Chains A and B, each alone.
Chain A
Amino acid sequence: QVQLVQSGAEVKKPGASVKVSCKASGYTFTGYYMHWVRQAPGQGLEWMGWINPNSGGTNYAQKFQGWVTMTRDTSISTAYMELSRLRSDDTAVYYCAREFRQYGMDVWGQGTTVTVSS
C-alpha cells in the first residue's frame, strides 16, 4: 500500500541541526512532489516547502529560506528535510506529504517529533 514512513523522534540542543527522513513505498517516488509541513504543540499547520523528487528542484517558504534544506535519494525512494540553527520554537511535529499537480496532499507520513531543548 502507499505509505510514507518517517524517521524517529529527535531531541536536539539549540543551535544544532536535525535531519528527518521520509521513505516512500507503494508508488512511483519521482511522480509526486514531497512537501514538508510542521506543527508546533497545540498550533496549526505550517508549510515549509517542497522538493520535486524527479529533478531535485526545491521551493521553500520564505520564512525557511537559508535555513532548511530538502534533498532526496531516488535509489531508496527517500526524501530528507534538514533544519539548521535550531531554536526552542522549532519544537514541533514534522510531517512529509506527497502531492500530484496541486491535487492536494493525499498521503502523509506519521510525523516526527523534534524537541529542541538545552
Chain B
Amino acid sequence: EIVLTQSPGTLSLSPGERATLSCRASQSVSSSYLAWYQQKPGQAPRLLIYGASSRATGIPDRFSGSGSGTDFTLTISRLEPEDFAVYYCQQYGSSRYTFGQGTKLEIK
C-alpha cells in the first residue's frame, strides 16, 4: 500500500501570504491519480485538484497543484480568509486509494 506523508502538519500563515503544502509518497504515484481536498470543520471534503495539476470545477485559480513521482505540492498563491482549513492529498494505485494524514492551515 502506498503511504502518503504530508508536511508540515500545521502551517501558520496570514491572509495574503503564499502557502506551500507537500505530499510525499512511499513509492511512485502516477500523476493522473493524485488529488487534493480541502475540509472545513463540520463539512465534507471538497475536491480542489485532480491529476496532480488540474483544478476541479469552480476552484479559484489561486489554487495550483504540481509534482510527479513521489513528490507533489499544493500551492495557494494568496491566502483568503476562507482558505484556512485542513488539506488532504489522495492517490490511487494498485486498485487502492489512500489519503495523507492532512495539513492544517491556520491563521497566524
Do A and B actually bind?
Answer: yes
Given A47-B99, A95-B44, A104-B90, 8 extra CB contacts under 8 A = A45-B37, A45-B99, A45-B102, A47-B97, A105-B37, A106-B50, A106-B57, A109-B44
Q: How large is the interface on B (under 10, 10 to 19, 20 to 34, 35 or more residues)?
A: 20 to 34
In the complex formed, the residue of B with least CB distance to A4 is B44
Residues of B near A97 (CB, < 8 A) are 44-45
A17 adjacent to chain B (CB < 8 Å): no
Residues of A near B99 (CB, < 8 A) are 37, 44-47
Chain B interface (Cβ < 8 Å from any Cβ of A): 1, 32-33, 35, 37, 39, 44-47, 49-51, 56-57, 88, 90, 92, 95-102
Chain A interface (Cβ < 8 Å from any Cβ of B): 35, 37, 44-47, 50, 59, 61-62, 95, 97, 102-106, 108-111
Known: A45-B88, A62-B1, A110-B44. A104 touches B98 (CB 8 A): no
